[in-house]
């Protein structure tokens, strides 16, 4: 546990997003994790999300930082 504790929301979330390269719709299932931590640790959490994006082969992780949505991009997967 990198940050001490987390909560996994029940169930899978289904959605669709346009592929960055082809523009075609991609159907996806995802999970929601809730992590509570001090604002000073947000940069560390962003870096952690980049590493797990690569580990799980995710192009982007949707991240709500408490005030706004951020898209944490996997630096290993670049649009062609």
Summarised one tens digit per residue, pLDDT across range 35-74 is 888 889 999 999 899 888 888 888 889 999 889 999 998 8
1 domain-assigned? no
pLDDT digits (tens, 9 = 90+) for 15-43: 998 987 899 999 998 888 888 888 899 99
Number of structural domains the chain divides into: 1
Task: Give the contacts of 62 (CB within 8 A, at least 6 positions apart).
Answer: 30, 69, 71
CA-to-CA separations, 7 to 47, 54, 80, in angstroms, rounded: 19, 21, 35
22 domain-assigned? yes
Is the whole model's pTM more than 0.75, yes or no?
A: no
pLDDT-based confidence at residue 1 (cuts at 50, 70, 90) = low
Range(s) of the domain holding residue 19 = 7-73
Q: What is the DSSP string of 39-62?
A: GGGHHHHHHHHHHHHHHTT-SEEE
State whether residue 76 is helix, strand or coil: coil
79 domain-assigned? no
Residue 17 and residue 25 in contact, taking contact as beta carbons nearer than 8 Å? yes
78 domain-assigned? no
Amino acid 24: pLDDT: 96
């Amino acid at each position: 546990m990198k940050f001490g504790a987390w909560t996994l929301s029940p169930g899978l979330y289904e959605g669709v997003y346009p592929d960055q390269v082809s523009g075609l719709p991609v159907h996806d299932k995802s999970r929601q994790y809730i992590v509570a931590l001090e604002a000073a640790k947000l940069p560390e959490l962003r870096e952690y999300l980049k590493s797990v994006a690569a580990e799980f082969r995710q192009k982007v992780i949707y991240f709500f930082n408490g005030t706004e949505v951020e898209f944490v991009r996997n630096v290993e997967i670049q649009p062609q």
